[in-house]
Amino acid sequence: MIRLPPSFRERVWGSANLEPWFPGVAGRIGEVWFTADPPHPILVKFLFTTGNLSVQVHPAGDAGVGKTEMWHILRAEPGARIALGFREPVTRERLRESALSGRIEQLLQWFPVQAGQTYFTPAGTVHAIGAGITLCEIQQNSDITYRLYDYGRPRDLHLEEGVAAADLGPHPGASAGAPLEDGWTRLVHCPYFVTDLIETAAETTCPPGCLLVVLDGHGKVDGEAVRAGQVCLDAIRIRPESPMRLLRTYAPVSALSR
């Protein structure tokens, strides 16, 4: 088992309240990344928001180019919401005009969120994460982002690239989990990653090559102590010492062979 180190990234929309996953900080931490060396095809992040993230879209493609992702909501303040896709199909010209005018906020499909929900965000989905949310993001290991609208903040936009990459229709909303025979629940299965969830106080296992994300509780993984807010690579045997809530995620064989 390899414990991945956290990397704390300040963001204008970030928070100083990272507990119980991480100690509180003085700055505005928006993202905590867990990276491996050599790079793993999947990147795990924790996000903490006190403001709205930009309206953005990611391109499609394999590792390093495309960015398909999923969000598992850990905490949500009353009224917190995310945007995924559009309320009705739009044209690329209308998308471009609305991004320039700010009317894109009214075109987007906004979903109220609550802890425990999962949202799958394929590359090409125009999206925005609102304020008051803590989530775990699992994604292709890429950081290519095209901003379409940023609430007047002085950051670069990427209108032409974003409009070209965007899917123009609605999004189905929160994903429904499917129970597995080993007690885990399948949250997402896509060409780039598979992610499962379990809430347990009993011993459980992961297949070789998994990234294990500890969301709640503490225990031992392959004999080493772990707690909430930690991510382990090649974790096999998990022995809870309190009720634990865990994600395991891995790349399908088809993705590793690309």
Given this model, what pLDDT does residue 257 score? 45
139 belongs to a structural domain? yes
* pLDDT, tens digit, 9 for 90 and up, residues 88-112: 999 999 999 999 999 999 999 999 9
> Are 76 and 129 part of one and the same domain?
yes
Token pair 């189905």: residue: 172
> Are 143 and 233 in a shared domain?
no
Q: What is the CATH number of the domain that holds 240?
A: 2.60.120.10
On average, the pLDDT of the chain sits at 95
Whether residues 155 and 199 fall in one domain = no
Residue at a domain's end among 165, 196, 220: 165
What is the C-alpha end-to-end distance of the chain, expressed in Å? Answer: 25
How much of the chain is helix, strand and coil, in % rounded to 5? 10, 45, 45
Could you check whether the bond before residue 39 is cis, i.e. omega within 30 degrees of 0? no
171 within some domain: no
Mark which of 165, 198, 227 sits at the end of a domain: 165
pLDDT in tens, 46-67: 999 999 999 999 999 987 889 9
Domain interval for residue 199: 178-256
In a domain, 215, yes or no: yes
Does residue 211 contact residue 198 with C-beta atoms inside 8 Å? no
Do 128 and 31 share a domain, yes or no? Answer: yes
pTM: 0.96
143 and 227 assigned to the same domain: no
143 and 74 in a common domain: yes
Picking from 110, 144, 165, the residue at the C-terminal end of a domain is: 165
Question: Residues with catalytic annotation?
Answer: 147
If asked whether residues 189 and 66 sit together in one domain, one would say no
What is the model's pLDDT at position 24?
Answer: 81
Q: Kindly state whether residues 243 and 148 are assigned to the same domain.
A: no
Which residues lie closer than 8 Å to 204 by C-beta, 6 or more apart? 182, 183, 184, 198, 238, 246
Query: Could you tell me how many residues make up the chain?
Result: 258
pLDDT confidence of residue 254: 54
Question: In the chain, how many domains are there?
Answer: 2
Tell me whether residue 97 is in a domain: yes
Residue 197 shares a structural domain with residue 220: yes
Residue 247 lies in a domain: yes
Q: Which pLDDT belongs to residue 253?
A: 73
Rounded CA separation 94/56 (Å): 16
Instruction: Tell whether 44 and 157 lie within a shared domain.
Output: yes
Name the nearest CA neighbour of 68 among 8, 150, 124.
124
String of b and e for 14-33 (b: at least 16 CB within 10 Å)?
bbeebeebbeeeeeebbbbb
Domain shared by 183 and 159, yes or no: no
Residue 106 lies in a domain: yes
Sheet holding 2-4: strands in order across?
Answer: 2-4, 231-233, 211-216, 244-250, 194-200, 185-189, 178-179
Q: Are 182 and 114 in contact (CB under 8 A)?
A: no
Inside any domain, residue 170: no
- Compute mean pLDDT per 10 residues along the chain, 258 residues long, and list them: 96 95 91 95 97 97 91 98 97 97 97 98 98 98 96 93 97 96 97 97 94 98 97 96 98 63
Q: Which two tokens stand for residue 49?
A: 């928001």
Q: Return the DSSP state at 26.
A: S
pLDDT at residue number 64: 80
Residue 173 lies in a domain: no
22 and 102 together in one domain: yes
> Cβ of 101: how many Cβ atoms within 10 Å?
10
